[in-house]
Amino acid sequence: MKKPLSLLFIVIIISSFLTSCGQSLSRYSVTYTDVFDTVTNITAYAKSQTEFDKAATAAHNELLRLHKLYDIYNEYDGIINLATLNRLCGASEQKVDKDIEYLLKTGLSYAEKTDGKLNIAAGALTGLWHDCIKNGGGLPSDEELYEAKKHISYKSVRLENGALFFEDPDIKLDVGAIAKGYAADRAASVLVSNGINDFLINAGGNVVPHGKKPDGEWKIGIQDPDKPGGQYRFKMAVSDRSVVTSGSYERFFTYGGKTYSHIIDTDTLYPADRYVSVTVLCVDSADGDALSTALFCMSVQDGKALLKEKGADALWIYADGGYEKTDGFKIDE
């Protein structure tokens, strides 16, 4: 009688030990380099590597799908993406995918709100600078810039009942300023629907936190513009709001000893240089992405008014090392 009891005892102890091992969550991480021309990292707590891989792969597939949909440089078989629409919508009206419609509507509403500071119809202008960055050649000439300026009015973009048409045939859409934020939000939904609740997505400066770490809140480091790579100017804990940074030190190009950011001010027609970086805290990462780009080209005062409207907060870092922030932007130290 005693032996079976002891055995039972052993079995119960060991099985409870194994069960607790199986249910405790471990940390997993993966990095993707093939979406939105940036580095995307997913860190999550999951029951097993298999569970994490399944969820992360699903999220990656969603990112790839949106990457192709919002790509303005390449067309793909079987889908009508922005590159296709840029080619066709100057001549005839085209039906658009729901995810394109949503993103364009968001972009156009921000264009209205910011008086074109955030302009998704500025592809003719951003394309000129993009070629400069890509080819490492000289800057665009004034003639080229003024010619481009004639064809960047977001008011020429007509989007009604899921159909898109450009009233100016030379309009080119460029959603680079808002696509990553929206895609990061979507990837987050995919992780949740795959049973992952504690994770952090960082899609090239668009950070979407969800849930918590076993030992507390997610920690974000805002890089020191003078010392990129592992050294942080500020650190902050985040839980329920996305963090989006637009920074000139992350994507830039150098010409004639001067560094230019990748964000083009549609008023000066040149890369914006008011700040080194602007970081926005916002519930929605798509909004955060739009706001950080718009704020990058605005005065702090104008930026604050826009933030208030959206219930968002921001941190501006100047080239001389100084900074400004709204009261709701909490940083450590």
Partner 1 sequence: MPTEAMRKPTGSRSMNRTAVSDLILVSAVVIIALVLLVVFSINRADGSVFEITVNGKVYGTYDLNKDTEIDVYGLCVVCVKDGEVFMKSSTCKGKDCVHSKPISKSGQTIICLPNGVVIRVPGESEVDAAI
Q: Which is nearer to partner 1, 46 or 164 (CB)?
A: 46
Q: Minimal distance in Å, beta carbon 235 to partner 1?
A: 6
46: tokens are: 């999951």
Measured CA to CA, the distance from residue 166 to residue 86 in angstroms comes to 9
Name which of residues 232 to 261 contact partner 1 (CB under 8 A).
232, 235, 243-245, 247
Q: Among residues 25, 38, 99, 211, which is the contact residue for partner 1, using CB under 8 A? A: 38
Q: Minimal distance in Å, beta carbon 250 to partner 1?
A: 8
Span near partner 1 by CB under 8 A; candidates 32-40, 75-83, 88-96, 170-178 = 32-40
**DSSP per residue, 133-155:** HHHT--PPPHHHHHHHHTT--GG
Number of neighbouring beta carbons within 10 Å of residue 47 = 15
| CA angle, residues 273, 225, 66, in degrees to nearest 5 | 75
Measured CA to CA, the distance from residue 36 to residue 170 in angstroms comes to 24
Q: Minimal distance in Å, beta carbon 168 to partner 1?
A: 34
Q: Among residues 221, 311, 321, 328, which is the contact residue for partner 1, using CB under 8 A? A: 221
Q: Which is nearer to partner 1, 145 or 282 (CB)?
A: 282
Q: Minimal distance in Å, beta carbon 224 to partner 1?
A: 10
Q: Which is nearer to partner 1, 148 or 317 (CB)?
A: 317
- DSSP 8-state class, residue 265: P
Measured CA to CA, the distance from residue 316 to residue 246 in angstroms comes to 10
Q: Among residues 14, 91, 283, 305, which is the contact residue for partner 1, using CB under 8 A? A: 14
Q: Minimal distance in Å, beta carbon 176 to partner 1?
A: 15
Is 223 among the residues that bind partner 1 (CB under 8 A)? yes
SS3 (DSSP) at 33 = strand
Buried b / exposed e across 75-114, counting CB within 10 Å, b at 16+?
beeeebbbbbbbeebbeeebebbebbbebbebbbebbebb
Task: Catalog residues that contact partner 1 under the rule CB under 8 A.
Answer: 2, 6, 9-10, 13-14, 17, 27, 29-34, 37-39, 41, 43, 60, 136, 200, 202, 205, 207, 213, 218-223, 229-230, 232, 235, 243-245, 247, 279
